[in-house]
Structure 1
Amino acid sequence: MTTDPPVPTDLTVRPALPSDARFLAALRWAFKREEHEAPPDTAPPLDEAERWIGERLGGGRWLAWVAEAGGEIRGHVFLALVERVPEPFADNDSLGYVTNFFVEPAYRNQGAGTALLDALTSYARGARLETLIVWPSERSDPLYRRSGFRPPAELLELPLPTDGGPTS
């Protein structure tokens, strides 16, 4: 019989660094495996995800925060900054796209997710982002709503087919 490890009381949240890319890529793969039984044979190798994450975190357009416990990264959340086209009548503050929010199962419902989202929203307020947007999963929706996220009043979406054909 296996049991989950005890949740350490030393949970800390910090900005992710490019040097965290390997751990973040591994957690990304764990996150996606929760939704699917096994990756397809054509799945990109973990090294590609590590390189992609490391390049983005070093470039300033993507940010991430990690939750650490027991000396290991146990969760993360990413923020993509979306610039707005300048115009003369507004501040043109950027938007933030929240994505890739994952906490290892043994550390869920222990405050790690809330701490990660608090760090991200604190940054967003300090950076004067106008809005944060997210496409929540069914599991994450309650956390986002507790944190003040609401359905938008003014948003349209056009899903585009991945095969290049018409949408239904």
Structure 2
Amino acid sequence: MQALRSTLGKIEAHSRAVAIAVTALVVLAAVVRPYAGALARYYLDEAGGAHPQFVMKPGYTVLIDGQATPVFGVDECPLESDPSKAYWLGGRPDDIPLVGCIVVGPETKEVRVRVRSREPEVWKVVHQERDGFPVTLVQRPNGDLVTEAK
């Protein structure tokens, strides 16, 4: 009987220690969470890097009316290999074409695009901030947001 009480006492002490550790982690996370975004924003600003331009290669596939659809641009394709300057959506191709890309820079307001092989569309580029971080959205003339087809 004494051995059973001793074992139960050890289990109880261990359970208390685990409960205290979990509580401490939850409290620490609750305290640190509001500062995490500000800290990340600080280091991004300190790095001083300009916002990259986003590049879609010719034939990049996006969702249009619920279907995977290749799109083609009219812009020159950047030869930049640094992703902090030119970020290729879907990965940088080995053979970069001269033209036909869709390039969205930090100041771009609209881009001309060919959807399938139809007439060109002009997509609106919306630059926003969410939680202190820049967000770039691309919107078709009908108001639908452009998203990658997976």
Q: Which has the higher strand share?
A: 2
TM-score (norm 1): 0.24
Which structure has the greater CA radius of gyration? 2
TM-score (norm 2): 0.26
